[in-house]
Each structure stands twice: as C-alpha cells, then as structure tokens.
Chains A and B, each alone.
Chain A
Amino acid sequence: MRDVTLGEASAETVRPLSEAAALDMPLLRIEGVAKSFGNFRAVDRLSLDIRAGEFFALLGPSGCGKTTLLRMLAGFETPDEGRILLGGKDIAPVLPHERPVNMMFQNYALFPHLSVRDNIAFGLKRAGMARAEIATRVAELVALVKLEGMEKRKPDQLSGGQRQRVALARSLARRPQVLLLDEPLAALDKKLRESTQAELMELQRRLGMTFIIVTHDQEEAMTMADRIGVMDAGRLVQVAAPRNLYEAPASRWIAGFVGDINLFDGQVVSREHGRLTVSTSEAGPLAVSELWSPVTKEIVSVAIRPEKVKLSRRGPASDEGGSQAINRLDGVVIDVNYLGGVTTYKVKLESGAVVRSSMANTARLNVDAYLAGQRVVAWFTADDCLVLEQ
C-alpha cells in the first residue's frame, strides 16, 4: 500500500486546484453553499468541485444533507448562501426545467398514466424535438437499458428492476451535462443491486457523462465512484478516492463510518526514522509508521482495520513482516463468526480491550480455524497502522 497517494485526503476543504486543473475549470463548482430549514442547517457552507466525466458519490448517514445538496443542484431547493457554477455559469437563477441537469428519483417518480415509451419520451417532447427524432432516441434508450418489448407497458406492470431502468432511461433522454442519482438502487434486492451497479458504471463510462450519486451505502459508493465525498451534519468531512478514504480516513468518525476499525487511544512516546511508538493503555506500546503526513500531536489514536489483524497460535514467523516492525498482542478468542468468504474473530486482550480480526477462508478444510477460548497472538505490521489525531 506504499503506492497510495494521500495528498487530497485533507478534510473540511477541497484540495486547491493544481496548475493543470485550473486550465480546464471543473464542470460543476459548489462554492460555500448553505441551506437551512427553519433552525435546522441541512447544508453548511459546503464547497466542492466536480470534474467533467466523473462518477462522484455523496456518502453520509441519513439526515446529513446529501439529498438537500442534490436537490439544490437539480433546482428544487434554492441555496441560502453561496453559488453553484455549472460550466463557469451561476445556475442559481435557472429554474429546474431549464437546467441542463437531470435527476433520477429515489422512488423513480415514473408517470403512472404513461407507458414506458411515453415516460422516456416525456422530456424530449417538452424540448420540442421532432417526432421521428424522438422515436429514434427512445428506441436507442430502450435498447440501452434492455427494455425491448416493454415499450407499451404502464409502470405498474413492471418489476422494481424494470422501473429503475425506465427511470434511468428517462433521465438520460435529454442528454444532461450532469445526471443526479438519488439513492437509485435502494429499492432493489442485493443481487439486482450488484448487477445494476456494474451496469451503471459501464453506462457512465460509455456515455462519458458526469454522474453524481447520493447514497448511504458505503460499499455502493466504494464500488462505483471515482471519488467519494463523505458528509456529516451538512459538511463535507473528506473528499477522496475510495481506496484513500478506506486506507487513510481523515478522522475517527470517518474511519468508523467507512468500514470497521479497531482504535487504541495513546500517547506518542518516541519517534525515529519515520517510526513512532505510541503507548496505549489497552494494547501497550505500538509501533506505527509515519508514512505520509507528519504527526504533530502527542495524544493520538492508533487505528487498524480488522482484515489487517492476523491471528496465529505462536505469533508470526520471523520473516513475515519483512523489515517492518510487528505489533504482537496476546489474547483469548471470545467470539467467532463464520461468514462464508471470511471469518471474523473477537480477541480479548489482557487489558480487557477487544480486537477484531477478519481472515479470508482461503482453504476449504480450514484446519487453522480458531475456536472460542483458545489463546492466540493477534499481530499486525507498523505500516498497516494508521495514526488519527483527535
């Protein structure tokens, strides 16, 4: 993981535009946008740049303001403060029906009185497109979302997955500069959701369109997006590529929201050659690599993802960590959860703290499986540890 670049993982603000990026303006620029409903501040002075052709995900728990932001982009809400620039032009005074932006609604919002064909053609008719041209465009879209033969059906004669496709085709019909997707897969079951994720990504790549998706599902955001903006309480707390978000979260909150993590609070006691020793009350002294940005504070948390914590009976073989320092923690397995592809373990340390480990089940006859009550060594390398300042 040494090749991971983490320059853009700074919290609160978006990274400053580099020289190259300044030449071509971002397609969409959100500048200090705020929106309140009564006393509730839904979006709080948020700034963000989105490049043309990007697949961007807004990720956050419900009520974090991600949908409000999306609705402001579509024009259904007006920002109290700030500007939204599309292609360099302020779109605040532009009404929803005049914006080159289309939205796919969470509940699809298909027109129940119109057939599949008329739903897809709706936006084209309003644009005053010629009849023959509409017919060709609709046929293209129907083929694109694989709904051939369904053109004459009404929405209530379609399955959930088919409705989702109609909604997608309808929102793509006007060839918007930006397509907004509000939890587009939330109503689908797991299998269908996964295949639709792949189709959406394929489609976005093929059309070269800018997609902004709102989701509360971190796996969905990680799978599909080029970049993810994590929102909490109306603010963007981190904007990063999925791998950077997971491997280098900017705060304890993000680390816990995106995936699972073990945290040990402690104090930096020594630093030499890019290696810190952090003294923790729960796990003793831990060796941590200072890989990217220097750690400036003394009171820190050491974070380690469960899949990077390995278990063994006697501890790691001498060559396993390479040249890296290895942290060993002795404990007793207290909980084993077999999940098919992986098994998760909880190991109780002598201090009483619990470390979670998840190990891939790479062999069918898993002779190495640990049982509850067994003494084990949980170990991880210094490079796999992450230092989070408080």
Chain B
Amino acid sequence: MARTVTRITRFNMTSLALGLAFLYLPIVILVIYSFNASRLVTVWGGWSLRWYHEFFNDAAMLEAAWMSLSVGTVSATLATLLGTLAAIGLARGERFRGRALFSGMLYSPLVMPEVISGLSLLLLFVALNAERGFWTVTIAHTTLTMCFVTVVVQSRLTSLDRSLEEAAMDLGCDPVRAFLFVTLPQIVPAIVAGWMLAFILSLDDVVIASFTTGPGSATLPIRIYSEVRLGVKPEINAICTLVIALIAVIIVVASFASKLSGARGESAAPL
C-alpha cells in the first residue's frame, strides 16, 4: 500500500498559522478582553473576573440565557424526534408518490434565507393569533433545525447495511423489533449528533428568534444584540466567552459521537 507522506514544510506551517489566525484571532481577543478589568472595552486594565461577576448578577441577562437554554433544549428534542422520523420515512419507507417533492420540501429551510422563514412564521403566528413568547420561538426553531437532524440521520441510515435488518427479521424479529433491536443502536450516535447540532443552531439564532419572540421573552443572542447597539460593555465579552465554551464542549462531544458511529459503520460494511 502506497501511503503519501505529507512533509511539514515551512510553507505549510505558515499557511496553517495564517489560516488559524484568521479564524480564531477575533475569538481569542474576545476571550482575553473578557478578563479585562477596565470599563473600556479596548483599553487593557489588567486581569479580572469582574465582568463574569457582573453577568451572574444581571437578572435580565440571566433570564435571557435561561430562555435560550430552554428553547434550545425543547426545540432540539422536538426537532430530533420529528427529524429522525422523517429520515426513517425517507430512507426506509416504500417509494411513495411525491417522495422527491417531500424530501425537497423537507430540506428547504437549509437554503431558505432566515429572514423569509422568520417573517412567514411571524405572519402565521399573527394569523393564528398566538401569543408570541417561549412556545412560538420553540416552534420556529424546531422547523428551522429539524431538517439538519434529518440530513445527519438519513445519511447514517442509508450507509447502514440493509442485510442487518433482514438478518434480524430472519432471526425472528418483526420489522418494528428489527428496527428497535438492530437499526436504532446503529443510528444512536447520529441522533445524538443531530440533537447537538439542533441545539447549537437554536442557541445561535438571532433572526428567526427576533421575528417570533414577544415582549419579555428575549433569547440571549437577542439580548446581547440589543445591548451592543447601545455600546459594547465588557460584560458581553464574558457572556460570549461562556457561550463559546459551551459550544466548544458540545462540538467535541458531537464529533466524538459521530466518530463512534463511523467506526461502527466500518465494521458493518462488507469485507
């Protein structure tokens, strides 16, 4: 087997360093300034945890953070449930009429500009005379993130060996049990990864949330956005650092989960 050995040249190192700097320098600066003691964002006044302390005493900000976390959890769970069912229907269901149309429509939120999704959802909620708040944001985020779960789970399902399910049926499982005992354990990592993706997307979103939320139920990104418009407070840096830390943890866990699922996929493949 010929294996290409990539040698680390000076050129490679430089381009790698520049690329990483481009991506991460702003974040690093934000993180460093979150520990700034000075009231002015751009002037370094020594190390301090003052702004973290400030954040944990800012009731409005904490409320927004709590709102974001609960919207994220509920909408990610709903999206995972619906998205997984859609993935199963698309990957395993009989070839029903309009299947292509259905899958195209399912993926439309992937390409639809968020402003349009947000506006149409707002119009819907107004038409239904629904009081805007926690549940409208949650429903909006579920529609936004469901298709991402479907993509992740469906790709795992189609890469799965169909003969595993047949083997389960051959050994006495009806189709439902074959799914529960054999297929489900194989796609759990994809489902977990899908949930985390949905959660992060919900946590990230400003546009759709600002259309569908109501007074007194701002999510964290909306709250931050409105604060920043009045001038950047160092407290924002602290909040952002915390959010970055949370997302970093989720990404590590999700990539670990998908690696686990990939390793399993290999052993299921024919020799």
Contacts and interface: CB of A to CB of B under 8 A. Distances in A.
Interface of A: 74-76, 95-98, 102-103, 105-107, 109-113, 122-123, 126-127, 154-156, 160, 163, 170-171, 173-174, 187
Contacts of B177: 126
A124 B266 CA distance: 27
Interface in B169-199: 169-174, 177-178, 181-182, 185-186
B172 A106 contact: no
Contacts of A173: 171
A173 B185 CA distance: 23
A113 B177 CA distance: 15
B171 A126 contact: yes
Given A102-B171, A174-B172, A107 B271 contact: yes
Given A74-B170, A97-B174, A156 B185 contact: no
A107 B267 contact: no
Contacts of B182: 111
Interface residues of B, number: 26
Nearest to B263: A156
Contacts of A126: 171-173, 177
B169 A96 contact: yes
DSSP majority for the B interface?
helix
B107 to A, nearest CB: 28
Contact of A112 (B171, B172, B174, B267): B267
Contact of B166 (A105, A170, A174, A187): A105
**Interface centre among A76, A95, A174, by most B CB within 10 Å?**
A76
B170 A96 contact: yes
B9 interface: no
A105 B166 CA distance: 9
Given A126-B171, A155-B267, A109 B161 contact: yes
A187 B270 CA distance: 9
A126 B169 CA distance: 10
Contacts of A110: 167
B259 interface: no
Contacts of A98: 172
Interface in B222-265: 263-264
B186 A103 contact: no
Closest A-B pairs by Cβ, 10 of them: A156-B267, A123-B171, A126-B172, A107-B270, A109-B167, A109-B163, A112-B267, A113-B185, A96-B169, A187-B271
Given A74-B166, A75-B169, A109-B163, 19 more contacts: A75-B170, A97-B174, A102-B170, A105-B166, A107-B269, A107-B270, A111-B168, A112-B186, A122-B181, A123-B172, A126-B173, A127-B172, A155-B267, A156-B263, A156-B267, A160-B271, A170-B171, A173-B171, A174-B172
B164 interface: yes
B268 interface: yes
27 contacts: A74-B166, A76-B169, A96-B166, A97-B170, A98-B172, A102-B170, A102-B171, A103-B166, A105-B163, A106-B163, A107-B161, A107-B269, A107-B271, A109-B161, A109-B164, A109-B166, A113-B264, A122-B168, A122-B171, A126-B171, A126-B172, A126-B177, A154-B267, A156-B264, A163-B271, A170-B167, A170-B171
